[in-house]
Amino acid sequence: MIARLLFSAGLAMQEAPPMVVIDERDTVREEAPPHGAIGMSTAYRISDAAPQPRTMEFRKRVLHPGAAIGVHPIAHDEVYYVLSGQGEVTSDGISKPLRAGMAAYLYNKAKVGIRQLGKQPLVLIITYPVAPKS
């Protein structure tokens, strides 16, 4: 019924693109973490394998011992979810510990960063919206 109403109003419903299934092994690379190149990390740029249009980024990052994503301003909300290891997240000068099963929800306009602590790598999922086109 709704589809008929939209069509009769001249608003044809657009179909979603087909789903994309991505194997993280196809997206992996070793690199210094962003925002300061502090230490080394393994990056899984998972959403890069999903063609546009897409509205979100989905990343997995392994911060090796001593590594950090340096403090930087964000222009969107962002989530860091810890799969394993321990770390410390910072937002606007306030730092909190993180461990497996914990998430940090970080807000637009904050200055944020995260660093690995302990002997085990810090494994994170990071998600945020795609940057708008200028």
The beta strands (E) that lie in the chain are given as 28-31, 41-44, 56-63, 68-73, 78-84, 86-91, 94-99, 103-106, 111-117, 122-129
The per-residue pLDDT for range 15-50, each reduced to its tens digit, is 888 999 999 999 999 999 999 999 999 999 999 999
Please report, rounded to a whole number, the percentage of residues in the chain having pLDDT higher than 90: 81
Distances from the Cα of 67 to the Cα of 3, 8, 91, 99, 133, angstroms = 51, 57, 17, 16, 31
Tokens 């994309």 correspond to 20
Distances from the Cα of 75 to the Cα of 80, 100, 110, 129, angstroms = 15, 26, 8, 10
Half-sphere exposure of 110 (CA within 13 A, CB side): 18
pLDDT average, residue stretch 56-81: 97
Which pTM was predicted?
A: 0.86
Beta bridge partners of 78: 106
> Residue 63 and residue 120: Cα distance in Å, rounded?
9
